[in-house]
Amino acid sequence: MSTGNRRAYYRIVMTDGTGNCPTAPRSQSRQAPFPPPGRASRSELRACSRQAFAPSTTQSGIAPEGTIVTLIYGHRGAKGEAPENTLVSFQRCLEHGVRHCELDLHLSRDGELMVIHDPTLKRTTGRRGKVSEQDADELASIDARLGGPGWVQPCPIPRLAELFEKCNFEHWQLEVKSASRVRAARTVTAIQDLVERYELLDRVTVTSSSREVLRALRRLTPRLSRGLVAEYAWLDPVKVANNHGCELLALNWTLCTPERLKKARQTGLQVSVWTVNEPALMRRLADFGVDSLITDFPGLAIATLGKG
């Protein structure tokens, strides 16, 4: 955990939004400290969380009515355990019993959806060039295990179609990076076509931090569930998500305060928090009542929270 994230970790506060939580100070600022050890039991924290945040029922993969279940999503499969965004990474995620995943998409030159985070090949393959400048067949032959956990066998860049065929996830978060208006339109249309072909419309949410992509989703593919990826709070993430007709808000965990979580819930948004790799933070966010958390280590998350 970086120094900045560690500082933010110790600024998260548990509150019911009115100051009535036994561990919460009157101020609900992000800058208030954690309650000192011993001030409240875990059962008291969970009771406060349940009082503050009633579960939403608008998004696929939601908690049963009357309960709060924090679902686990594998980040790029199981990024901390296998080469990210490769078939083996998503298979590892499933091996842990985690049936929800997050991944990144770029269009190949010939219009196929390829699962890779960066717009360029360098970081994960060692090759030069952009994903958009290569055809899908060529991309699918490139080994993408560079920079990740050690792996003996080559791990080619997968097509999204291959993952749909080989990985039976209950829900997919498909993130589309920034794109021009034309490219955004091509990408979201390709996603809808593929999702409909595999009859996964109710099991997919397309997410993005790009306003251009979100506008294209709303304009061209209104049947697809949409989600805003929010890394910074320059603008109110809840307001932006609602302005684009989103059903999901994917928050950088440092932005996840009880006040913001409650506000999101009141507007019908599901809240997914990323990237959460520390067991203590997993438990704390689950106590808050987040709908899901995204982690590089789905095995660790299962061991910590006991559910996938």
Task: Round to whole Å and give the CA distance between 18 and 127.
Answer: 54
pLDDT mean over 18-29? 31
Give a three-class secondary structure readout of 71-138. EEEEECCCCCCCCCCCHHHHHHHHHCCCCEEEEEEEECCCCCEEECCCCECHHHHCCCCEHHHCCHHH
Number of C-beta neighbours around residue 67 at 10 A: 8
Task: Round to whole Å and give the CA distance between 9 and 266.
Answer: 24
Residue 196 — pLDDT band, cuts 50, 70, 90? very high
Q: What is the DSSP letter of 143?
A: B
- Name the CA radius of gyration of the chain, rounded: 19
Q: What is the dihedral of CA 158, 160, 163, 169, to 10 degrees?
A: 140
Strand partners, 101: 74, 172
Q: What kind of architecture, by CATH, is found in domain 43-305?
A: Alpha-Beta Barrel (3.20)
Where along the chain do its domains lie? Answer: 43-305
* Region of residue 268 (left: phi > 0; alpha: psi -120 to 50; beta: else): left
CA 62 to chain centre: 14
* DSSP secondary structure letters along 259-287: HHHHHHHHTT-EEEEE----HHHHHHHHH
pLDDT digits (tens, 9 = 90+) for 197-236: 999 999 999 999 999 999 999 999 999 999 999 999 889 9
The type of residue at 131 is: V
Query: In terms of DSSP H, where are the helices of 152-297?
Result: 160-166, 181-197, 211-220, 237-243, 258-266, 279-288
Strand partners, 274: 252
* Contacts with 95 (C-beta within 8 Å, 6 or more apart), sequence order: none
pLDDT mean over 174-178? 94
pLDDT digits (tens, 9 = 90+) for 49-106: 333 333 433 333 333 444 579 999 999 999 999 999 999 999 999 999 999 999 999 9
pLDDT at 285 over 80: yes
pLDDT digits (tens, 9 = 90+) for 123-175: 999 999 999 999 999 999 999 999 999 899 999 999 999 999 999 999 999 99
